[in-house]
Amino acid sequence: MALRLWASSTANALRVSSSRTHLSPALSLSRCFSSVLDGLKYASSHEWVKHEGSVATIGITDHAQDHLGEVVFVELPEPGGSVAATKGFGAVESVKATSDINSPISGEVIEVNTKLTESPGLINSSPYEDGWMIKIKPSSPAELKSLMGAKEYTKFCEEEDASH
């Protein structure tokens, strides 16, 4: 997510209702009520990575989708392109804002979740499963070591929410 900069060109007191993701026994429940999956790695910009062999799957976390609100559009790269760690590879538009999506690690895009074109709401309803965004072939697997684990990310979210 593009957290370094934000832009607002409206002034509106509308409240966006938050969504609660259905929890399964495999999920860790954080005190902020956003789910965090064990076994994934997390970026401070709220993307997750699932590394399985030579493929890494990337999406945004439950914390991110909850704070964004209803997702109405997702802009993703084409297969064959490359992504770089901490750099933007797409954007997700919610009802009131667009946020850049940053890749946690570098690599070549080998698959894109085309279901998100017709059903961008999958990111809200299933951020870790049906709402996955891209699959890449990592070029520097060592970059995973700099990412957070589930417990660390949970604590990060709690501290971030508590400070605001």
Partner 1 sequence: MTIPQARQLGRRPLMNLVKFKGTPILQQLHLEERLLRNSSDNWCIINDGTNTPAIVMGLSGKSSELVEIRSVLRDQIPVIRRFTGGGTVIVDHGTIFVTFICNKEAVPTVQPYPRSIMHWSSLLYNEARNHKEFLCGMKDYLPRSAFINKTVEAIENHFLTKPVNVDIDAVTSCTDYMHTTKLLSEQELEEACARGPSGEIPVSNLMI
Residues binding partner 1 (CB under 8 A): 1-16, 44, 67-69, 72-73, 75, 91, 93-99, 160-161, 163-164
Q: Please state the closest distance from residue 13 (CB atom) to partner 1, in A.
A: 4
Q: Please state the closest distance from residue 31 (CB atom) to partner 1, in A.
A: 16
Q: Please state the closest distance from residue 55 (CB atom) to partner 1, in A.
A: 28
Q: How far, CA to CA in Å, does 115 sit from each of 14, 76, 102? A: 29, 11, 20
Strand partners, 109: 136
Is the CB of residue 109 less than 8 Å from the CB of residue 80?
A: yes
Q: Is 26 left (phi over 0), alpha (psi -120 to 50) or beta?
A: alpha
Q: How far, CA to CA in Å, does 128 sit from each of 4, 36, 44, 120, 133? A: 24, 9, 16, 13, 10
Between 16 and 27, whose beta carbon lies closer to partner 1?
A: 16
Q: Please state the closest distance from residue 11 (CB atom) to partner 1, in A.
A: 5
Q: Please state the closest distance from residue 54 (CB atom) to partner 1, in A.
A: 30
What phi and psi, each to the nearest 5 degrees, are found at residue 77? -75, 175
Between 4 and 22, whose beta carbon lies closer to partner 1?
A: 4
What phi and psi, each to the nearest 5 degrees, are found at residue 157? -65, -45
Between 115 and 137, whose beta carbon lies closer to partner 1?
A: 115
